């Protein structure tokens, strides 16, 4: 057997092995997946959506926790008990001098505090209650005694001439929550686009594999024809050898395409959360349906809905709050503090709730910054610079997105024009190949002419396939970047509900 024959035999064996591999996987029941099925699986069980949802929930719950800190808080503190024993210096009347004696104290104490921030004024109203039982052993007389103490008081604290911290916190948290929700929507749309891209990539390779297999069959047909002609002395040996080389090359390309197709399926499985050993069968409808795209509408929707635009605008608001906070740290400030309470002390527990004593307090604190080496002024200047930069970033973001959408719409329109032209090219190339094959069999053209016709047909099919898929991916990208569905003429909404919270 010649070396050339051995080489051809091994190549056929390799190609046949790659044919068997998909058949082996298909021994299991394959999962038929359409594009909508793939998107649904990715948004329900894929790792990417799990990660995006977790990030959103962390941000949401953290911000909600900050807001709830402005509600009423109740705390109970218990000391059960507190025991102290120490040497203490006491005056001894018998010896007329100070001496050290062992003193023991045992306390049981409960403290209840209720605090209510006043979000509309920035002040705080708080109530505190303390009950104490104290047992003492006097080291000098070694006598023991027990007494009880109660204290109830209400306190009001109100800052003046300063920004309302609670209002600022609420506004800041509301902005950050809105940003978190926008990021979550963006993440889900990015996942949808990634799945769409991976799905069509796998489908592209699947169709390319079909085209390459057709090419293999065509080369087998032309190889047999060339072999018969060479045996009959109708063509030179070089044409026969060239047909062998073309057949080997097409088989090698088929094996390579099959490997790429399996790799694309693995990428898709990973995105969808499907087991790696689960056979998958892709079903895609590539029927071309032209969707009118209004460029002005696309730009308008992108500027109104894109997460980047919303985040940039909210960043301007946050930086403005930073300026207010920096200015407040070095401005005239007043604080009002008022409290009123009742208390009692008695050797019996029931007597501490009558014959109360009274405690009252009121103060007005004035804070006037005088000199700080200009540190706070620099903080204000830094905050102003950040605010100006946030404004510039917002403007730049809008300009960038506007140009991005215009470029994307132009690419979609260009692809649409390519589809119409390439569809005609496939029809013409197929007719040309059929004619060339008939002429080759009749002996009016040589092997090179047939190979060129075959290459034109393969190229036309691949170009048409690529154009159709590019159009589908482009429309999916437009939906992601504008949050607008031009097929249904409706906004794109991401489900914000999550079963885990």
Q: Do residues 377 and 298 make contact, with C-beta atoms less than 8 angstroms apart?
A: no
Q: Give pLDDT, residue 155.
A: 93
One CATH from 3.40.50.300, 3.60.40.10, 2.40.30.30, 1.20.1600.10 for 293-331+372-494: 1.20.1600.10
- Positions in the chain whose pLDDT score sits under 50: 1-26, 498-501
Q: Give pLDDT, residue 405.
A: 94
Q: Do residues 413 and 209 make contact, with C-beta atoms less than 8 angstroms apart?
A: no
- Say what angle helices 237-272 and 165-231 make with each other, to 10 degrees: 160
Kindly state the DSSP code that residue 238 receives in the 8-state scheme: H
Q: Give pLDDT, residue 298.
A: 93
Quote the CA–CA distance of 269 and 287 in Å, as a whole number. 25
Tens-place pLDDT, residues 390-449: 999 999 999 999 999 999 999 999 998 888 888 888 889 889 888 888 887 777 877 677
Q: Do residues 346 and 148 make contact, with C-beta atoms less than 8 angstroms apart?
A: yes
Q: Which of 304, 291, 302, 308 is nearest to 474 (CA)?
A: 291
Domain boundaries defined on the chain: 26-70+164-285, 73-118+123-163+332-368, 293-331+372-494
Which H, E and C letters describe 408-440, residue by residue? Answer: HHHHHHHHHHHHHHHHHHHHHHHHHHHHHHHHH
Q: How is residue 206 written in tokens?
A: 């699947």
Quote the CA–CA distance of 402 and 284 in Å, as a whole number. 32
Quote the CA–CA distance of 116 and 20 in Å, as a whole number. 74
Whether the model clears a pTM of 0.85, i.e. scores above it, the answer is: no
Q: Give pLDDT, residue 494.
A: 62
Q: Give pLDDT, residue 388.
A: 94
| Alpha-helix runs per DSSP H in 102-164 | none
Quote the CA–CA distance of 286 and 208 in Å, as a whole number. 14
Query: In Å, how far are 72, 112, 129, 201 from 124, measured between CA atoms?
Result: 10, 16, 17, 61
Tens-place pLDDT, residues 97-145: 887 777 888 889 999 999 998 888 888 999 999 998 888 887 666 778 8
One CATH from 3.90.226.10, 3.20.20.70, 3.30.230.80, 1.20.1600.10 for 26-70+164-285: 1.20.1600.10
């Amino acid at each position: 057997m010649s070396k050339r024959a051995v080489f051809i035999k091994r190549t056929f064996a390799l190609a046949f092995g790659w044919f068997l591999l998909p058949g082996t996987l298909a021994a299991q029941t394959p999962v038929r997946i359409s594009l909508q099925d793939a998107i649904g699986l990715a948004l329900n069980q894929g790792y990417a959506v799990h990660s995006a949802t977790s990030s959103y929930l962390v941000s949401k719950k953290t911000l909600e926790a900050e807001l709830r800190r402005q509600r009423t808080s109740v705390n109970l503190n218990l000391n059960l008990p507190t025991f102290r024993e120490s040497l203490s210096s006491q005056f001894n009347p018998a010896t007329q001098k100070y001496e050290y004696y062992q003193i023991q104290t045992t306390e049981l104490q409960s403290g209840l505090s209720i605090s209510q921030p006043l979000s509309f004024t920035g002040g705080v109203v708080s109530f505190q209650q303390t009950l104490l039982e104290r047992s003492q052993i006097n080291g000098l007389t070694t006598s023991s005694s027990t007494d009880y103490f109660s204290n109830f008081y209400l306190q009001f604290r109100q800052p003046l001439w300063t920004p309302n911290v609670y209002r600022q916190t609420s506004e800041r948290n509301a902005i950050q929550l809105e940003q978190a929700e926008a990021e979550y929507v963006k993440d889900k749309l990015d996942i949808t686009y990634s799945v769409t891209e991976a799905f069509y990539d796998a489908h592209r390779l699947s169709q390319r594999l079909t085209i390459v297999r057709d090419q293999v069959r065509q080369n087998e047909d032309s190889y047999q024809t060339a072999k018969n002609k060479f045996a009959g002395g109708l063509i030179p040996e070089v044409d026969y050898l060239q047909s062998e080389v073309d057949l080997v090359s097409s088989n090698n390309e088929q094996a390579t395409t099959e490997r790429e197709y399996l790799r694309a399926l693995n990428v898709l499985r990973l995105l969808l959360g499907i087991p790696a050993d689960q056979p998958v069968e892709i079903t895609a409808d590539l029927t071309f349906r032209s969707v009118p795209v209004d460029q002005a509408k696309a730009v308008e929707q992108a500027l109104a809905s894109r997460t980047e635009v919303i985040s940039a605008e909210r960043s301007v608001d946050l930086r403005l709050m930073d300026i207010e906070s920096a200015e407040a740290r070095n401005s005239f400030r007043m604080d009002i503090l008022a409290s009123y309470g009742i208390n009692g002390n008695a050797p019996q527990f029931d007597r501490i709730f009558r014959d109360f004593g009274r405690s009252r307090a009121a103060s007005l604190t004035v804070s006037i910054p005088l000199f700080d080496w200009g540190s706070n002024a620099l903080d204000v200047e830094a905050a102003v610079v950040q605010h100006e930069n946030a404004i510039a970033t917002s403007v730049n973001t809008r300009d960038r997105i506007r140009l991005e959408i215009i470029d994307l719409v132009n690419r979609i329109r260009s692809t649409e024009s390519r589809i119409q032209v390439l569809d005609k090219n496939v029809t013409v190339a197929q007719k040309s190949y059929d004619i060339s094959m008939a002429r080759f069999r009749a002996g009016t053209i040589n092997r090179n002419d047939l190979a060129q016709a075959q290459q034109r047909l393969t190229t036309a099919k691949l170009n048409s396939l690529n154009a159709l898929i590019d159009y589908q991916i482009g429309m999916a990208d437009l939906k992601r970047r504008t949050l607008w569905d031009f097929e249904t003429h409706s906004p794109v909404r991401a489900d914000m509900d999550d079963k885990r919270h």
